[in-house]
Amino acid sequence: MAVLPKVQPKVWLERLRARPAEAQAKAAPVGGLAAVVRKEFADHVNSWRMVILVLLLLVTGIASLYTAAQTIRSVVEATAATPDFVFLRLFTGGSSRLPSLTAFVSFLAPLLGIALGFDAICGEHSRRTLSRVLAQPIHRDAVINGKFLAGLLAIVVTLTALLLGVGALGLIMIGVPPTGDEALRLVAYGVLTTVYVAFWLSLAILFSVVFRQAATSALASIAVWLFFSVFWDMIVGVAAGDDPVGLGLWLSRVSPGYLYTEAMVTLLNPIVRSLGPVTLEQVLGALEGVLPVGQSIALIWPQAMGLVALTAVCFAASYILFMRREIRA
């Protein structure tokens, strides 16, 4: 019979005490990033702010879709022919009474990013829960990275559901399926809108790190949004003066909303073939036609990279400030 080795009681106590720490370390991979993402995403989905914004996007989407479908039907009845890129007209078509779906999304999408990020860090400060979170086996960078990734995931889910829902209802209403080119353009439009909303999310997280109060962070984010949405065009008009095409165009491209609108119109309107000033010789020598989706994406590549760069700069600033901040219980 084998004789079991004797283990001192003190050794057994040390092993029992070490088991919870080992279990927590195994349950929180990558410094707890996955746990933070799951928790924050669940909070976003169950929050009233998310429900209100989704309902607002849904109502405006259905109203714009109905108006666009009625416009398409009137064109078909008048011309007895189906217009080109009819499925894209569901998203870009509007009337004098109601704007298009893309116009509503470009106006309301920043509010979605701001709502998801304005109290990401300052909300934890006001609830005095940040020190408790960091007392767990969770790295500090996992907190801010997880909050950004959870907000980005909520944005992707919301925009995907909106585009799929509007596309399905539009297919039922007009009975014309999208072509391959139209489907690719809508996918690119969804990616572009996600990047645009991610910029406002990163900006809101930056203000949530800078300011201690959630109300101040929200007001700062909304102020920046209103400045670029309303007042920047006035400033550009005054500064450009007699050169609205040259200097005015470059000043307008400082605004993230202008970059997004410029890229969005190019993607969803294949007739657009240039985004800058065009000379008379270029107009006379150009051939009529539409751009393939690959050429349209290449045309908006600078605008898309500009939005990505702005998002990266805002998130990098919030990351550095958060990592250097002293957090007390």
Which pair of structure tokens corresponds to residue 97?
Answer: 């009474």
With b meaning 16 or more CB within 10 Å and e meaning fewer, what string describes 167-199? bebbeebbebebeebbebbbebbbebbbbbbbb
- Tens digit of pLDDT for each residue in 44-85? 988 888 889 888 888 888 888 888 888 887 777 777 666 777
> Does 196 have pLDDT greater than 90?
yes
Domain boundaries, the chain: 30-279+287-324
Please indicate whether residue 67 or residue 264 has the higher confidence score (pLDDT). Answer: 264
* Residues in CB range of 50: below 8 A, 6 or more apart: 44, 115, 116, 154, 158
Q: Output phi, psi for 47, to 5 deg.
A: -85, 150
Residue 86 above 60 pLDDT?
yes
Q: Lowest-pLDDT range, 42-51, 174-183, 241-250, 257-266?
A: 241-250
Q: What's the confidence (pLDDT) of residue 7?
A: 44
**CB-based burial, 130-156: b 16+ in 10 Å, e otherwise:** beebbeeebebebbbbbbbbbbbbbbb
pLDDT band of 219, cuts 50, 70, 90: very high
Q: What is the pLDDT of residue 276?
A: 62
The band of 27, judged by pLDDT with boundaries at 50, 70 and 90, is very low
Confidence of residue 292 (pLDDT cuts 50, 70, 90): confident
Tokens of 152: 């980005």
3-state SS, residue 241: coil
pLDDT at 306 over 90: yes
Q: How many CB atoms lie within 10 A of CB 84?
A: 11
Range from 128-132, 213-217, 260-264 carrying the lowest mean pLDDT:
128-132
pLDDT more than 90, % of the chain = 31
Which is more confident, 66 or 208? 208
Residue 179: pLDDT over 80: yes
What's this model's pTM, rounded to 2 decimal places? 0.85
One-letter identity of residue 264: M
**According to the model, what pLDDT value does residue 329 have?**
58
Angstrom distances, CA of residue 107 to CA of 49, 56, 58, 276, 300: 17, 12, 14, 24, 20
**pLDDT averaged over the chain?**
81
Please check whether residue 66 is in contact with residue 58, taking contact to mean a CB–CB distance below 8 angstroms. no
Mean pLDDT of 145-162: 93
- Stretch among 82-86, 145-149, 243-247, 259-263 having the lowest mean pLDDT: 243-247
